[in-house]
Amino acid sequence: MAGMVEPRTNGEKRLLNYYQNVKEIERRARGDISIDAYTNAGASMVLDDYLKQGAKLASAYVIKGDTVEAGRHLAIQDLAYRVRAAQGYAMSKDFRYYMTIMPVLQLLSPEAHQVIGDAALRALNYQLRG
């Protein structure tokens, strides 16, 4: 927002965030002005947010020492009940599905990829020595 002063209060920040969310919903609705299009666009934004949270949580588990699949499973297990409580069964089902099929490159943070790479190098060095 060129030429504008940054929001100073929490109320101004929430209002700016609201306007940005409305613009994103309109962009995702792609010109369709029906209620269903806006509802689906808003739901996809919510699902995207949950998937980002799940990816961060899976990365944290991998950094702590779990395998990628264990980290993915634990993240799904930790967040699925929150998604179901807040958004319902259908959103929880979609969350589980998309977390399950998410590629590892998209799922894990760069730090988690570094941990995996370091572990692979240690295993390779161990095999070469013995």
Evaluate the CA torsion angle 78, 71, 95, 16 in order and state its sign: positive
**What pLDDT, in 10s, does the model give residues 6-21?**
768 888 888 888 888 7
| Mean pLDDT, rounded, for 72-84 | 92
Local confidence band at 79 (pLDDT 50, 70, 90 cut-offs): very high
Q: What is residue 3's predicted lDDT score, i.e. its pLDDT?
A: 57
The structure's pTM equals 0.72
DSSP string, 58-85: HHHHHHHT--HHHHHHHHHHHHHHHHHH
| Nearest CA among 67, 74, 59 for reference residue 106 | 59
**What pLDDT, in 10s, does the model give residues 85-130?**
988 998 999 999 999 998 888 888 889 888 888 888 888 888 888 6
pLDDT for residue 1 is more than 60: no
Q: What is residue 130's predicted lDDT score, i.e. its pLDDT?
A: 67
pLDDT for residue 2 is more than 80: no
Residue 41, SS3? helix
